Structure 1
Amino acid sequence: MAYQNLLVEKKGAVAIVTLNRPDALNALNKALMDELTSALDDCEADDAVHCIVITGSQKAFAAGADIKEMQPKSYMDVYREDFITANWERATRCRKPVIAAVAGYALGGGCELAMM
């Protein structure tokens, strides 16, 4: 499947899903999160994939929620829509191992791996 906000590649039994919104430091918006959910579904359905790595850019894994998309929403709008949360929880329900490969501002330029 073609994505606008992600890059997905397979290296052997590992699927690498890269957040790809460089102009917004990979801020999490609805479109990116919908695509991430779809990519995780595709990876789980692929018997050749045994592990999924989610990563960002060297500069930032993700800047957090997309403030520009949130700005016009009230607290209740975000709450009722489950803004970002519903999709992000998809990673926790994945039956294959999901690893976040994080580098960038949050870790002072280092690289950490964390199981989700």
Structure 2
Amino acid sequence: MFETIRYDVKDGVAWLFLNRPDKLNAFTAQMNREIKDAVKAASQNDEVRCIVITGEGRAFCSGQDLSEVDESMDHGDVLRKHYGPMVKQIRQCEKPIIAAVNGVAAGAGFSLALACDFRLVSEKASFINAFIHVGLIPDSGNLYFLTQLVGPAKAAELSILGEKVSAAQAAELGLANQLIPAEAFEDEVSAFAARLAVMPTKAIGLIKRSLKAASVLSFEDYLEQEAQGQRTAGLTADHREGVEAFLQKRKPVFSGK
């Protein structure tokens, strides 16, 4: 089904591996499409409760494969046709998405990690907003996400200077949700994904909607959005299960419905 990525579903988790290790998982137009299609497939699969995006080999993603770049290219069209749709699909997904950053995340690879809900980062990983080194601006939603996470001043520093950010520095800046020893990385990511896969999936999706709304709505409009979201959450099977489990003093078993 896919050529540039590997896609597996196991125990409620969709694993999406960027699979061009010889090129440090650099993006091609085909990889953009396949990531978009895989996230869409996971979004529509009721068996999937969580998505993990990671890289094969020693890199997460080194950004655009520069062998596909030529002087006649309209970079704006490339974003509109390939990167924009990929990032939009990730942001539209109402299931939790983990970026398991196993190695370098550079350029649009950094943007891909930023677009996810969680970033679990190996101690061997690093981030770099490398666009400035080829005379470009950060794209694929990079500055939109980065500014929210680290603030405008730090986002400007990382983008204009283009310096490498170590895994430890990423944790200090709030870019990493967890910093994980390399030897324990796969096990820790699997455990985190398994934890999310048994949580009330619909409520997670509604939380994601509310987080997006909070950044664009007035407080009054946000309160209405919140009320609508809570009404929807209150009608889910998971809410009923949560209440029943509380009253019965047992651990809830959520179905994601």
Same fold (TM over 0.5): yes
Superposition deviation, residue 21 in structure 1: 0.8
In the superposition, the TM-score normalised over structure 2's length comes to: 0.40
Q: Which has the higher contact order (CA 8 A, sep 6+)?
A: 1
Identity across the alignment (%) = 32
Name which of structure 1's ranges 46-55 and 102-111 shifts more when overlaid on structure 2. 102-111
Q: Which residue of 2 aligns with 1:47?
A: 46
Q: Which residue of 2 aligns with 1:81?
A: 78
Identify the structure with the greater helix proportion: 2
Q: 1:73 to 1:97 in 2, by over 3 A?
A: farther
* Unaligned segments of structure 2, at least 5 residues: 106-121, 126-166, 168-175, 179-257
- Aligned pairs for 1:58-97 (under 5 A) are 58-74=57-73, 77-82=74-79, 83-97=82-96
Q: Which residue of 1 aligns with 2:124?
A: 109
Superposition deviation, residue 27 in structure 1: 0.4
CA contact 1:19–1:56 (8 Å) conserved in 2: yes
Task: Give, as a single letter, the amino acid of the residue that structure 2 aligns with 1:48.
Answer: E
Superposition deviation, residue 113 in structure 1: 5.6
Q: Structure 1: how far apart are the matches of 2:71 and 2:123?
A: 32
Superposition deviation, residue 70 in structure 1: 2.0
Task: Give, as a single letter, the amino acid of the residue that structure 2 aligns with 1:47.
Answer: D
Give the number of the structure whose alpha-carbon radius of gyration is greater: 2
Name which of structure 1's ranges 62-71 and 77-86 shifts more when overlaid on structure 2. 77-86
Identify the structure with the greater strand proportion: 1
After TM superposition, the runs of 4+ consecutive aligned structure 1 residues lying more than 4 A away are 110-114
In the superposition, the TM-score normalised over structure 1's length comes to: 0.83
Name which of structure 1's ranges 16-25 and 81-90 shifts more when overlaid on structure 2. 81-90
**RMSD of equivalent CA atoms:** 2.3
Q: Which residue of 2 aligns with 1:38?
A: 37
The DSSP-based 3-state class of the residue aligned with 1:61 is strand
Superposition deviation, residue 57 in structure 1: 2.3
Partner deviation per Cα, 1:41-80 (whole Å, 9 max, x = no partner): 1111110000000000241000111111123444xx1102
